Amino acid sequence: MITQHKLKRVALVNDFELVLRGLAGMLDPFRDRLRVVELDVGTRPKQSVDVALFDTYGHPHNGIDRIRALADDPRVGAVVVYTWAITSEQCEAALAAGARGVIAKSEPAEALVRALIAIDGGELVVSPNFRRPHGYTWPGHDLGLTARESEVAAFLSEGMSNRDMADALLISEHTVKSHLKAIFQKTGVASRAQAVARIAADPRFRRVRDVG
């Protein structure tokens, strides 16, 4: 039986509150093994934690700078990257920046919990496969947006060009255009300007910037 003092203290880190609340809800049934002590929306952990689980949603190139800042923070025991798509080069960059694990969002919640505990114990854990997320919520999910369309929408609201979005997500500009077409249809708009206005006004896509 795992006793109270052995519970792993976990901080969830991302710039979108909805993303972190969904992740916290997924981990809640495992309170006997770990405890989510902070939802750090746009900030770094304020107290000492065993693991900072960094969700890369909305971060170009999987947020290497954010990973490095977390790894350098003395309050963080280990940094774990949580993502649904990553190249081998990006994975190596994340580990070089200080991450001790790179976990796919397609992993079941039980597997994620086991990975976090193993990483806290000193292991290096990298998921073998990265696929479309399952049982995971993202901004615009209720509008029918896919996980990738949601990230494109978030970048669109920040004024990024198609080329910049393609570079940030490591996809082609043609694919970006296909995602934009789907976003327009699902949000009921007819132009890029209307889409930007619609998404920018939606609190689900409201990014909170890091302030420290």
Average pLDDT, integer, range 188-198: 91
Q: Which residues is 81 bridged to in the sheet? A: 54, 102
Q: Do the domains 141-205 and 4-126 match in fold?
A: no
Compute the distance between CA of residue 123 and CA of residue 92 in angstroms, rounded to an integer: 16
Q: Where are the alpha helices (DSSP H) in the chain?
A: 17-27, 64-71, 88-96, 109-120, 147-157, 162-169, 173-187, 192-200
The answer to whether residue 2 scores a pLDDT higher than 50 is no
Write out pLDDT tens, residues 94-118. 999 999 999 998 889 999 999 999 9
For residue 114, the model assigns a pLDDT of 96
Instruction: Give residue limits of the domains in the chain.
Output: 4-126, 141-205
Write out pLDDT tens, residues 23-73. 999 999 999 999 999 999 999 999 999 999 999 999 988 899 999 999 999
The helix/strand/coil state of 149 is helix
Compute the distance between CA of residue 210 and CA of residue 70 in angstroms, rounded to an integer: 12
For residue 142, the model assigns a pLDDT of 86
Stated length of the chain: 212
Hunting for tokens 């920046």 — which residue is that?
Answer: 97
For residue 7, the model assigns a pLDDT of 81
For residue 176, the model assigns a pLDDT of 95
Homologous superfamily in CATH for domain 4-126: Response regulator (3.40.50.2300)
Residues 6+ apart with CB under 8 A from 197: none
Alpha-carbon distances of 115 from 35, 132, 143, 149, 176, rounded to whole Å: 14, 19, 31, 28, 33
For residue 1, the model assigns a pLDDT of 36
For residue 79, the model assigns a pLDDT of 98
The answer to whether residue 183 scores a pLDDT higher than 90 is yes
For residue 138, the model assigns a pLDDT of 85
What's the pLDDT band for 135 if we cut at 50, 70, 90?
Answer: low
What's the pLDDT band for 136 if we cut at 50, 70, 90?
Answer: low
CATH class of the domain defined by 141-205: mainly alpha
Q: Determine whether 188 is exposed, middle or buried from the number of CB atoms within 10 Å of its CB (0-12, 13-18, 19+).
A: exposed
The mean pLDDT value of the chain amounts to 89
